[in-house]
Amino acid sequence: MSKFKKFFTGKSKDKRSSSIAGTEASADVKAVLGGRARRGSESSISTSKLFMFCFLVEAAAVVVIVIVVVAVVAVVVAVVAVVVVVVVVLLVVVVVAVVAVVVVTRRMSKRAQAAMNEKIDTAPTLPSRAGRRRGAFKSFILD
């Protein structure tokens, strides 16, 4: 027990001390123990405050991570939506262009077929070039 007293008081006491010195030593021990107990409760309070702070920091980090993930997902969704809209618009433009070409081609072929079926007697015909020189063709146009 005296070793504990020496440890807590930090002084070496004589075993043959008077009863007053013993009372002082026990008072010193009580003061030291009380101070340590007080410091222990303070450290547990500061530990709980530190734990609460760490918990709040972790919660804030989770919130920030969730916000970043939501923002990234929103950006990705927006980019994908823009890409999808662009692809759909391009597909619509291509389909409209193909349909327009098909309609124009079909219309031209119908007109050409109708023109082939009609007989026009008054239309001039160009002379065939077989066996003729260029001058014959020029004279035909200049006439």
* Segment 80-133, tens digit of pLDDT: 888 888 888 888 888 877 777 665 555 567 777 777 777 666 666 666 655 555
pLDDT greater than 80 at residue 78: yes
**Any idea where the domains of the chain sit in the sequence?**
2-111
Looking at per-residue pLDDT, the higher value among 56 and 137 belongs to: 56
What pLDDT band is residue 50 in, cutting at 50, 70 and 90? confident
Q: What's the pLDDT score for residue 3?
A: 63
Element (H, E) at 121: none
pLDDT greater than 70 at residue 66: yes
Q: What's the pLDDT score for residue 22?
A: 52
Structure tokens at 72: 């990234």
What pLDDT band is residue 139 in, cutting at 50, 70 and 90? low
Q: What's the pLDDT score for residue 90?
A: 84
Dump the DSSP string for 1-70: -HHHHHHHH-SPPPTT--HHHHHHHHHHHHHHHHHHHHHHHHHHHHHHHHHHHHHHHHHHHHHHHHHHHH
* Whole-angstrom distance, CA of residue 5 vs CA of residue 32: 10
Q: Of 5, 10, 8, which is closest to residue 35 (Cα–Cα)?
A: 8
